[in-house]
Amino acid sequence: MKILLIGSGGREHTLAWKIAKNPRVKKLYVAPGNPGTARIAQNINIKATNIEALLEFAIDSKIDLTVVGPEQPLAEGIVDLFESQGMRIFGPNKQAARLESSKVFSKNLMQKYNIPTAAYRTFTDYTKARQYLVNQTYPLVLKANGLAAGKGVVIANNLHEAVEALESIMQNRVFGNAGSEIVIEEFLAGEEVSLLAFTDGETVLPMVTAQDHKQAYDKDLGPNTGGMGAYSPALILDGEKYNTAVEEILVNTVKALKKEGITYKGILYAGLMVTAEGVKVIEFNSRFGDPEAQVIVPRLKTDLVDIMLACLDNDLKSINLEWHKQTAVCVILASGGYPLQYQKGYEITGLKAIPKDIILFHAGTKQEGHKIVTAGGRVLGVTALAENKEQAIAQAYNAVELIRFQDMHYRTDIGQRK
Ligand code: AMP
Ligand code: GLY
């Protein structure tokens, strides 16, 4: 089998690492990949958003299965394009991917089918939205409708902050067209957890839980990032709560989409808030989480390629998902200054000293001759698996201590929330 994986981050290195374990995979390409994927696959210099060029490459190279890592190509309809040419590709089509690419679409779907989420209103008109803000209680959450690389959400603590956010989203269009429509929603207090599933549009196979750490600094301080670390399982969503969330949220969402004439195939990712009134949806994503993948996928015993093929064959019911019991912890090493301004091009040292039982996932790195240098905000992910969370944390941080680059920044409290 020849497989093409699309993307270049830590999530994609994780997926490549798992895909490469399947003995039937004779050739794995990653577009564009990173120095981590280059060791286990062949990187192809095509951007994840250049979907026409990706199709051409897949046809020319006789790719048997394409796997999409990030959300942008899904939102742009890469699945529809590949399928129109008879190519097999894992991920939701453009209509289904709207669950992530349009917050208005996903909120309206949840409301219509009683899927628990924050109360909300949507606006296309700035003046009406501005008026609505006046009599609300704060904090209040404002969200640009479209994809904004995780940055289109503002939690406003008072009217002044809300108006500022509204202006920058709807009038100044700081997130571009994503700001032509806005969701204004109730602030949910509680703890966040990520619940993902594989689905073929009929069967829903939930994964083990994970918790991301979004803020840049310890104790959840500082600006929101793409994710500074994660661990799995997240016991905040356990037992009955987990079962209820799977049924009420994942299964009902796939059913709701079906009733709307949309078959959702791929990864369904629910970002959840565990509140005093129960578990509610903050957002849906149409792909694996980053860095959730770096702790969920290493725990997966079942072959990932078999799961993806079963999804495409509408035969997910034949798969029995099996998981390693261990706890996984992933610490992200970031460039100093991330998520704001940061420098690139610093040499990374110590990588060869990492113990064999640690899984090192590359993200923003670049090969320069014999050196690996920094090339992005999130540079590396260090994943450890152990019998309990304390051991996994200790092992991950022991490995982190060995790695060096100028202005390296990481959180020291990954996995310590609950
Ligand atoms: P999103 O892009 O929708 O995941 O939002 C980014 C982050 O904003 C989430 O991970 C939450 O931390 C926070 N957030 C979003 N919506 C809400 C809400 N209704 N109440 C509280 N926090 C929220
Ligand atoms: N870790 C958050 C995300 O992948 O969206």
pLDDT tens, position by position, 258-274: 999 999 999 999 999 99
- The residue to mutate among 142, 186, 282, having the most atoms of ligand 1 within 8 angstroms of its beta carbon, is 282
Cβ of 48 closer than 6 Å to ligand 1, yes or no, is no
Q: Is the pLDDT of residue 362 over 70?
A: yes
Q: How far is the CA of 135 from the centre of ligand 2 (A)?
A: 32
Q: Is the pLDDT of residue 418 over 60?
A: no
In order, the DSSP letters of 44-98 are: ----TT-HHHHHHHHHHTT-SEEEE-SHHHHHTTHHHHHHHTT--EES--HHHHH
Q: How far is the CA of 151 from the centre of ligand 2 (A)?
A: 11
From the candidate CATH numbers 3.40.50.20, 3.40.50.12280, 3.40.30.120, 3.40.50.150, the one assigned to the domain spanning 2-94: 3.40.50.20
| d(C-alpha 182, C-alpha 33), whole Å | 34
- Looking at all shown ligands, the one closest to residue 148's CA atom is 1
Mean pLDDT across the chain, nearest whole number?
A: 95
Cβ of 156 closer than 6 Å to ligand 1, yes or no, is no
Angle at alpha carbon of residue 396, lines to 17 and 38, rounded to 5°: 25
Q: What is the mean pLDDT of residues 129-154?
A: 87
- Looking at all shown ligands, the one closest to residue 211's CA atom is 2
| d(C-alpha 71, C-alpha 159), whole Å | 32
Closest atom of ligand 2 relative to the 227 alpha carbon: 1
Q: How far is the CA of 297 from the centre of ligand 2 (A)?
A: 14
Q: How far is CA 338 from CA 136, 355, 388, in A?
A: 33, 27, 30
Q: Is the pLDDT of residue 64 over 60?
A: yes
Q: Is the pLDDT of residue 135 over 60?
A: yes
Closest atom of ligand 2 relative to the 290 alpha carbon: 4
Residue minimizing CA distance to atom 7 of ligand 1: 153
Q: How far is the CA of 232 from the centre of ligand 2 (A)?
A: 14
pLDDT of res. 145: 84
User: Residues lining ligand 2, CB < 6 A?
Assistant: 150, 212, 227, 285, 289-290, 292
| d(C-alpha 213, C-alpha 192), whole Å | 9
Domain boundaries, the chain: 2-94, 125-180, 191-318, 327-400
pLDDT tens figures, 281-333 = 999 999 999 999 999 999 999 999 999 999 999 999 999 999 999 999 999 99
Residue minimizing CA distance to atom 1 of ligand 1: 283
125-180 matches 2-94 in CATH topology: no
For tokens 């993307």, the residue is 7
Both tokens assigned to 238: 């356990």
Q: What is the mean pLDDT of residues 25-51?
A: 98
Q: Is the pLDDT of residue 178 over 80?
A: no
Q: How far is the CA of 194 from the centre of ligand 2 (A)?
A: 9
Decide: helix, strand or coil at residue 418. Answer: coil
Please tell me the CATH superfamily of domain 191-318, with its number.
ATP-grasp fold, B domain (3.30.470.20)
- Looking at all shown ligands, the one closest to residue 283's CA atom is 1
Q: At 167, is the pLDDT very low, low, confident or very high (cuts 50, 70, 90)?
A: confident
Closest atom of ligand 1 relative to the 212 alpha carbon: 10
- Looking at all shown ligands, the one closest to residue 185's CA atom is 1
pLDDT of res. 102: 92
Q: Is the pLDDT of residue 171 over 80?
A: no
Closest atom of ligand 1 relative to the 103 alpha carbon: 3
CATH of domain 125-180: 3.30.1490
Cβ of 187 closer than 6 Å to ligand 1, yes or no, is yes
From the candidate CATH numbers 1.10.10.60, 3.90.600.10, 1.10.340.30, 3.90.1300.10, the one assigned to the domain spanning 327-400: 3.90.600.10
